[in-house]
């Protein structure tokens, strides 16, 4: 066979749907498939979706995959029989955690439950000093005896953490080698391979999670590999990490915790890809689904990442200390339930009706009114066009529920109550957007919003108004955006080394080898892949703080600071970042470095976005789909609103608000006074009326 | 505390403003934590941020410390009272650390910024935070306020934007590490300015009247909820007592804690008249701390998960507290360790309420931060170091339907974190040898109490150790037949020998030579219900996990297990339990 394979396939497995996106480099064709996820045999869903997209595995040279298998294994507690091996005196660190009690007045408060029970947490007599010198040497025979014991107990996975391994990993390296020699079939993972940062609880939680999900993720990935190679796939299989970057399947089978948040991260990568094409530097993704709304941010063309995240609700969360996309989440989605509190106030969420029983209007037994029910009552959703008309919604049941549960007890009109539910939901969701922008010192109003997820386009205008954002972009197929985003990912390896030192005392001769070691590891990892990555891009950063301060901020540092040995420049950059983020800085105070970070990216060729056919300013008749009565607030009441079918839009079409635009898994609402332009690539670009000048003036006032 | 009507303001705006004020206080909290200079603020979250009405009522507080539920509002009111509202201007920043105003110790420096709209004073944004040092004697006991450090009377840190540099100079001259104090001061200013800015954004977005009316509706709704839930508590008079080990001066002389609660319809009264008189040692707190005891207990029992925390929720709570008690101390009582005794007062209220609402109360907990400090000179860097250890977390009491939680911070604190041991060792010349749960430290019961925590730390260089822990002798009690837990304790390893026969756990100064160690033990939580009613399988699992020893399984729970296999010996268990 001489013909080069040219198809890049991406598969995103979510809780409900498996989304497939395929890009043919030769023809430039993008195609999509969407199938219900098949929980018992996830691979079947991929195959069906690929079939639907009209692609054969044998034609593909790249298979990119994001999956919820890792996170679900933790949330559903279905992982391996796992043991933890830790420095003597510290096996309870995993259970004690950080001793905090966020739910401070609740005597029935909960605490995180470790993935490894106490009976399976074992101690080894060894110890390093904080400086990395040996305090108590590791005795190989003790490790070997324990390895044999755990093997005999039928332990499937072992996590190993020794204190200060971020400073000197020698004991962890030796213990791992002994465990692997004694128990060749066991999944063995050590903390420094995942995180070289201090904080023993966070690191133990990370390495234990990796062990706990390891065997299952490994066999899942093996299963996919076997199936796709049986289908004739001979290319590279890459997995999406929580940073949105890709890593090779061989590494994904060992460092499994890196893929926990691959789906949401891919949504942000898709946002970035879109922004690159549209030449937008600053954008916020607004991703609203059934139970939550999430936001990530692209600032100066770069998605913002963070060094750790919490899995599960805050009070019972398990921390994972690896690089991740910085995503804020609030518990408001289409399924969020509206209810009255004991004191008689109106609340929306965080309880959700989920998919079953779901909103009242689904007719599946739900009795509590939700955000989706309110949308239906106000005409924003069409009863007969949900999921392309596959599912008929019951508007009168939705109205009756809102009346009975909310409007009557509050003495409100049912329409005002439904409108109120949506207003409360919009303000609640605006806090997710603000959390990644305003609270980071970024001016959200100057950002574009990219609205994705099934419910994102329906609520985007309300949320944007709440924050004062003037431009909203609704990409094509917003409900399937994660798989699309994966097609734009690059290979990426993130490293961090805890290395505390005062900036004034830091010797560039010492710093350089630390970065170089991380970057060599990154380059080697990229080399090992069979991908012919283009340019390798190095991004450096340091976690810094003022001497005496506790919390460090991550400061991105261009390579020039290091080649010029520009200590003052680094200090000035830190002062600047601190000022932006917190509104204060102390240029006269000394700064110190806590950790050094490096991200090594192997850039991959991106699919170009294909322009769609151009048309006139007025949409063609085929795009018009009658009208419906939609409520836009007290002043306007219900308004006869033209409805459109998005699939018939042509580039250059201009749609005046009010208007409603339906597509298969999503609905976009254009409010009165706003308008949307269909851009060259088929994106809807909404201009939010009148809000910019007003909000800008307000910001000036409040800043002065 | 007045009765109010429940006016029909727009519930939608009210809810939007409710979410808004919560977000404002949370952001104030985040900004303070992230910019603070000391672990006590950043990890221990010993601070409170909040928004207050123009008359000083709490609108919303971002809790670091649950116990500070009352103090900030009273401090704002004292500032208003001191200057008069007409003398507070835009650009002013008000400050004090007066212990008898805040109710706590001098380390709690409290800043307030008035928020103006159209020239009208509409709110205050405030921030209290614990400074690592405020001067005064280092370690040891104090018996009056003057030895505890710098007292800053109510004054203006900034007057119409003009910073009071004399005050800054006085502060710098009176604290041990001025750069940290000024760093924390800056962090607090960041927090209150964030609060001012974001609150004004709400006002501009929704309108001043809508926001202020919504705030009053939020408080009315909170009151309605509190009354509704108080009605579910049977009318009656409920009493309980407990005691503290001693005041650190009269060693071995218990300090009595007696509480009386009266429930009548939708009103609840906490009578603290019979709590001990103020004491000589530094365990006193001011009357706002006494009121806070009642408010914390009341909130736990009536509206534990309602936010924002606001004064509406306490309108149906009455507190009887004469001055001069250990929790309503008057000048010049020593206040440095103000936070310890109030926790036991709260626990004792829960104990009193057990007959009325057994399904809502909790057995006794370790009720102490269990913190300690080492200081000395690092011989390598020649720098003075001060290493704070704690809070290390201890056991919580069991409830009628749940086991107690292990290794978690006491009720004085909420979202408070311990410091990573790896960080402690990087900052101070010590080796933490052990940070672990203590088997058998939880009280026995049908529901078992949570386990306490031990930390053993070895000094790498000569250092001075001090700790001020209470509740060694009044161990965390069980309820309804549940057993008591292990109490708190301290031990020192001096010249190779462990010594733990102290009269209390107050080691106010002890020299540790290089290589010597201390052990600090946070006790467990009390059990709930008869231990014989605990299913043998649960006891078996407790033994398997090492939470309960084989001996205690047999002696306290009446469950016989095979020492090797841990199989339950049903016959023997039947005999032990059946008698």
Q: What is the pLDDT of residues B210-267, one digit of tens each?
A: 999 999 999 999 999 999 999 999 999 999 999 999 999 999 999 999 999 999 999 9
Contact assignment for B11 to A345 by CB distance below 8 Å: yes
Cβ contacts below 8 Å, chain A against chain B, sum to: 240
pLDDT tens readout for residues B5-58:
323 468 888 999 999 999 999 889 888 887 777 767 776 778 889 999 999 999
Considering just the CA atoms, what is the radius of gyration of chain A in Å?
A: 26
B12, B42, B420: residue with CB nearest A424? B12
Tell if the CB–CB gap between B416 and A91 is shorter than 8 Å.
no
Shortest Cα distance, chain B CAs vs residue A316, angstroms: 12
pTM of the model: 0.92
Inter-chain CB proximity B27 and A343 less than 8 Å: no
Which of B144, B168, B137 lies closest to B155, judged by CA? B168
CATH superfamily for A7-74+219-259 is ATPase, nucleotide binding domain (3.30.420.40)
Query: Cα(B286)–Cα(A509) distance, rounded to whole angstroms?
Result: 56
Q: Alpha-carbon distance B456 to B182, whole Å? A: 33
C-alpha count within 13 angstroms, C-beta hemisphere, residue A411: 6
Q: Mutation target for A interface from B7, B10, B35: give the one with most A CBs within 10 A.
A: B35
The Cα B485–Cα A582 span in angstroms is: 44
Which residue in A has a C-alpha nearest to residue B544's C-alpha?
Answer: A119
**Closest CA of chain B from A59, distance in Å:** 51
d(CA A329, CA A577): 24
CA-CA distance, B282 to B260, in Å (whole number)? 25
Question: What CATH number should be reported for the domain whose range is A491-602?
Answer: 3.30.1490
pLDDT for position A672: 93
Kindly state the DSSP code that residue B250 receives in the 8-state scheme. Answer: S
Tell which of A103, A107, A421, A464 to mutate to test the B interface (max B CBs under 10 Å): A107
Q: Please check the confidence at residue A702 and state whether its pLDDT lies above 70.
A: no
Are A198 and B422 an interchain contact pair (Cβ–Cβ within 8 Å)? yes
% of chain A with per-residue pLDDT over 90: 62
Q: How far apart are CA B373 and CA B428, in angstroms?
A: 11
* pLDDT class of A552 with cuts at 50, 70, 90: confident
Q: ipTM for the complex?
A: 0.94
- Residues A92, B66: C-beta atoms closer than 8 Å: no
Angle between helices A200-230 and A42-52 (to 10 degrees): 50
| CB proximity A501 to B under 8 Å | no
| Distance of alpha carbon A351 from alpha carbon A608, whole angstroms | 41
A687 strand-pairing partners: A471, A675
Q: What was the pLDDT predicted at A193?
A: 93
Tens digits of residue pLDDT in B177-193: 898 899 899 999 999 99
pLDDT (tens digit per residue) in B539-578: 999 999 999 999 999 999 999 999 999 999 999 999 999 8
Q: Do residues B449 and B397 lie in contact, with contact meaning Cβ atoms separated by under 8 Å?
A: yes
A481-492, pLDDT tens digit by residue?
Answer: 888 889 989 999
- Helix B287-302 with B208-230: angle, nearest 10 deg: 70
| Beta strand pairing call for A187-190 and A157-161 | parallel
B355 CB-side CA count, 13 A: 10
* Residue A695 confidence class, pLDDT cut points 50, 70, 90: very low
Task: Please say whether the structural domain A266-439+446-489 has been given the CATH code 3.30.420.
Answer: yes
Nearest CB to A346: which of B11, B193, B422? B11
Read off the pLDDT of residues A179-229 as tens digits, 9 standing for 90 and up: 999 999 999 999 999 998 899 999 999 999 999 999 999 999 999 999 889
In chain A, which segments carry CATH 3.40.50? 77-216
Identify the DSSP state of A623: G
Of A101, A424, A702, the CB nearest to B201: A702
Please check whether residue A218 touches B, CB under 8 A.
no
Q: Which fold has domain A77-216?
A: Rossmann fold (3.40.50)
At residue A157, the pLDDT reads: 98
Query: How near does any CA of chain B get to the CA of A98, in Å?
Result: 5
Q: In terms of C-beta distances under 8 Å and separation of at least 24 residues, what long-range contacts does A512-516 make, across chains too?
A: A512/A562, A514/A596, A515/A540, A515/A562, A515/A596, A515/A598
Q: Residue B63: which residues within 8 A CB-CB, separation 6 or more?
A: A104, B48, B69, B309, B414, B415
Residue B366 with chain A: CB contacts under 8 Å = none
Give me the residue spans of the domains in chain B: 11-223, 362-534, 535-578
Is residue A3's pLDDT more than 50? no
Contact B398, B524 (CB under 8 A): no
Nearest CA in chain A to B191: A582
A266 in Cβ contact with A90 (< 8 Å):
no
| Three-state secondary-structure class, residue A251 | helix
Contact B323, B330 (CB under 8 A): yes
Question: DSSP letter string over B232-301?
Answer: TSPSEEEEEEEEES--SSSTT--EEEEEEEEEETTEEEEE-TTSPBP-SSTT---HHHHHHHHHHHHHHH
CA distance, residue A506 to nearest chain B CA (Å):
16
Sequence-ordered list of residues with C-beta below 8 angstroms from that of B161, at least 6 positions apart, any chain: B91
Polymer length of chain B: 579
Residues 563 through 622 of chain A touching chain B, CB cutoff 8 Å: 578, 581-584, 586, 589
- Is-contact A529 A583, C-beta < 8 A? no
| In contact, B31 and B197? CB cutoff 8 Å | no
User: Mean pLDDT, to the nearest integer, of A293-313?
Assistant: 89
Are the C-beta atoms of B335 and B498 separated by less than 8 Å?
A: no
A663 contacts chain B (CB < 8 A): no
């Amino acid at each position: 066979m001489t013909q080069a394979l040219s198809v890049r396939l991406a598969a995103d497995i979510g809780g409900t749907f498996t989304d497939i996106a395929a890009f043919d480099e030769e023809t430039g064709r993008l195609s999509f498939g969407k199938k219900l996820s098949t929980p018992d045999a996830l691979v079947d869903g991929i195959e069906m979706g690929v079939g639907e997209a009209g692609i054969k595995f044998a034609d593909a040279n790249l298979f990119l995959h994001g999956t919820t298998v890792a996170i679900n294994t933790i949330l559903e507690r279905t992982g391996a029989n796992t043991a933890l091996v830790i420095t003597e005196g510290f096996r309870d660190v995993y259970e004690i955690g950080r001793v905090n009690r966020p739910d401070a007045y609740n005597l029935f408060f909960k605490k995180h439950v470790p993935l490894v029970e106490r009976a399976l947490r074992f101690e080894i007599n060894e110890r390093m000093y904080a400086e990395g010198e040996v305090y108590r040497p590791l005795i190989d025979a003790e490790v070997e005896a324990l390895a044999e014991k755990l093997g005999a107990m039928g332990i499937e996975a072992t996590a190993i953490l020794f204190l200060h391994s971020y400073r000197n990993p020698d004991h962890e390296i030796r213990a791992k080698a002994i465990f692997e020699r004694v128990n060749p079939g066991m999944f063995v993972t050590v903390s420094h391979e995942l995180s070289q940062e201090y904080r023993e609880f966070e690191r133990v939680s990370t390495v234990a999670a990796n062990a706990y999900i390891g065997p299952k993720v490994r066999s899942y990935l093996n299963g996919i590999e076997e199936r796709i190679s049986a289908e004739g796939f001979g290319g590279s299989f890459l997995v999406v990490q929580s940073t949105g970057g890709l890593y090779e399947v061989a590494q994904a089978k060992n460092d499994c915790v890196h893929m926990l948040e691959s789906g949401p991260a891919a949504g942000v990568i898709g946002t970035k890809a879109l922004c690159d094409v549209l030449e937008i530097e600053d954008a916020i993704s607004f991703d609203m689904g059934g139970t939550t709304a999430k936001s990530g941010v692209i600032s100066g063309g770069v998605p913002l990442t963070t060094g750790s995240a919490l899995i599960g609700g805050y009070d019972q969360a398990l921390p994972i200390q690896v690089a991740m996309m910085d995503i804020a989440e609030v518990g408001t989605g289409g399924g969020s339930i509206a209810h009255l509190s004991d004191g008689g106030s109106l609340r929306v969420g965080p309880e959700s009706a989920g998919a079953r029983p779901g909103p009242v209007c689904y007719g599946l037994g739900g009795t509590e009114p939700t955000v989706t029910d309110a949308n239906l009552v106000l005409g924003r959703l069409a009863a007969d066009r949900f999921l392309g008309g596959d599912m008929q919604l019951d508007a009168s049941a939705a109205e009756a529920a809102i009346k009975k549960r909310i409007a009557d007890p509050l003495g409100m009109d049912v329409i005002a109550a439904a409108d109120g539910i949506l207003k409360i939901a919009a303000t609640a969701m605006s806090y997710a957007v603000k959390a990644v922008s305003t609270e980071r010192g970024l001016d959200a109003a100057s950002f574009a919003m990219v609205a994705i997820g099934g419910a994102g386009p329906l609520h985007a205008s309300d949320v944007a108004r709440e924050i004062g954002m003037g431009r909203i972009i609704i990409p094509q197929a917003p409900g399937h955006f994660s798989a699309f985003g994966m097609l734009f990912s690059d290979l990426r390896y993130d490293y961090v080394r805890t290395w505390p030192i005062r900036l004034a005392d830091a010797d560039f001769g010492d710093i350089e080898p630390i970065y170089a070691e991380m970057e060599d590891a990154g380059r080697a990892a990229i080399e090992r892949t069979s991908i012919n990555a283009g340019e390798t891009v190095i991004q450096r950063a340091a976690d810094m703080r003022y001497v005496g301060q506790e919390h460090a901020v991550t400061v991105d540092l261009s390579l020039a600071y290091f080649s010029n040995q520009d200590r003052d420049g680094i200090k000035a950059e830190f002062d600047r970042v601190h000022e932006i983020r917190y509104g204060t800085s102390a240029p006269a105070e000394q700064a110190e470095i806590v950790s050094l970070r490096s991200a090594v990216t192997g850039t991959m060729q991106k699919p170009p976005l294909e322009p769609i056919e151009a048309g006139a300013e007025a949409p063609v008749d085929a795009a018009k789909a009658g009208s419906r009565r939609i409520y836009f607030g007290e002043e306007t009441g219900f308004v006869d609103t033209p409805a459109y079918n998005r699939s018939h839009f042509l580039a250059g079409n201009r749609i005046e608000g009010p208007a409603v635009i339906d597509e298969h898994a999503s609905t976009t609402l254009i409010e009165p006074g706003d308008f949307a332009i269909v851009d060259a690539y088929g994106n809807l670009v909404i201009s939010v009326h009148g809000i910019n000048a007003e909000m800008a003036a307000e910001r000036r006032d409040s800043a002065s | 505390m007045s009765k109010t009507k429940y006016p029909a303001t727009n519930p939608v705006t009210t809810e939007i403003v409710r979410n808004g004020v919560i977000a404002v206080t949370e952001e104030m909290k985040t900004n303070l934590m992230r910019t603070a200079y000391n672990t006590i603020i950043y990890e221990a979250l010993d601070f409170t941020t909040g928004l207050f009405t123009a008359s000083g009522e709490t609108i919303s507080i971002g809790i670091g410390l649950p116990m500070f539920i009352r103090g900030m509002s009273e401090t704002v009111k004292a500032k208003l009272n001191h200057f008069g509202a007409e003398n507070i201007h835009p650009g002013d920043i008000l400050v004090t650390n007066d212990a008898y105003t805040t109710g706590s110790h001098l380390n709690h420096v409290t800043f307030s910024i008035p928020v103006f709209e159209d020239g009208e004073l509409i709110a205050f944004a405030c921030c209290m935070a614990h400074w690592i040092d405020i001067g005064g004697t280092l370690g040891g006991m104090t018996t009056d306020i003057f030895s505890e450090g710098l007292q800053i009377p109510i004054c203006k840190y900034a007057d119409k934007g003009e910073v009071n540099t004399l005050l800054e100079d006085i502060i710098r001259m009176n604290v041990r590490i001025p750069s940290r104090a000024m760093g924390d001061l800056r962090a607090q200013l960041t927090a209150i300015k964030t609060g001012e800015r974001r609150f004004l954004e709400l006002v501009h977005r929704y309108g001043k009247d809508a926001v202020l009316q919504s705030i009053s509706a939020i408080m009315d709704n909170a009151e309605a909820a509190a009354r509704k839930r108080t009605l579910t508590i049977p009318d009656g008079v409920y009493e309980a007592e407990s005691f503290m080990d001693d005041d650190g001066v009269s060693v071995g002389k218990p300090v009595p804690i007696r509480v009386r609660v009266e429930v009548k319809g939708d009103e609840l009264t906490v009578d603290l008249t019979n709590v001990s008189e103020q004491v000589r040692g530094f365990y006193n707190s001011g009357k706002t701390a006494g009121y806070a005891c009642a408010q914390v207990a009341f909130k736990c029992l009536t509206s534990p998960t309602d936010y924002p925390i606001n004064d509406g929720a306490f309108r149906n709570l009455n507190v009887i507290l004469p001055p001069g008690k250990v929790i309503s101390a008057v000048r010049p009582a020593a206040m440095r360790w103000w936070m310890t005794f109030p926790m036991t007062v709260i626990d004792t209220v829960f104990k009193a309420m057990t007959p009325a609402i057994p399904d809502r109360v909790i057995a006794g907990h370790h009720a102490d931060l269990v913190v300690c400090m080492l200081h000395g000179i690092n011989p390598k860097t020649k720098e003075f170091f001060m290493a704070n250890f704690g809070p290390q977390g201890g056991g919580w009491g069991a409830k009628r339907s749940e086991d107690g939680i292990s290794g978690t911070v006491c009720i004085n604190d909420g979202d408070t974190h311990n410091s990573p041991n790896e960080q402690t060792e990087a900052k101070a010349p010590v080796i933490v040898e052990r940070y672990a749960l203590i088997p058998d430290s939880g009280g026995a019961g049908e529901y078992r109490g949570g386990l306490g925590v031990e930390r053993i730390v070895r000094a790498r260089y000569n250092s001075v150790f001090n700790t001020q822990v209470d509740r060694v002798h009044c161990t965390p009690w069980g309820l309804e037949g549940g057993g008591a837990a292990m109490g708190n304790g301290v031990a020192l390893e001096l010249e190779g020998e462990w010594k733990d026969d102290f009269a209390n756990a107050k080691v106010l100064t002890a020299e540790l030579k290089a290589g010597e160690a201390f052990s600090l033990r946070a006790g467990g939580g009390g059990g709930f219900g008869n231990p014989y009613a605990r299913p043998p399988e649960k006891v078996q699992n407790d033994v398997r996990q090492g939470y309960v020893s084989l001996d205690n399984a047999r002696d306290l729970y009446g469950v016989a297990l095979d020492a090797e296999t841990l199989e339950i010996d049903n016959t023997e268990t039947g005999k032990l339990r059946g008698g």
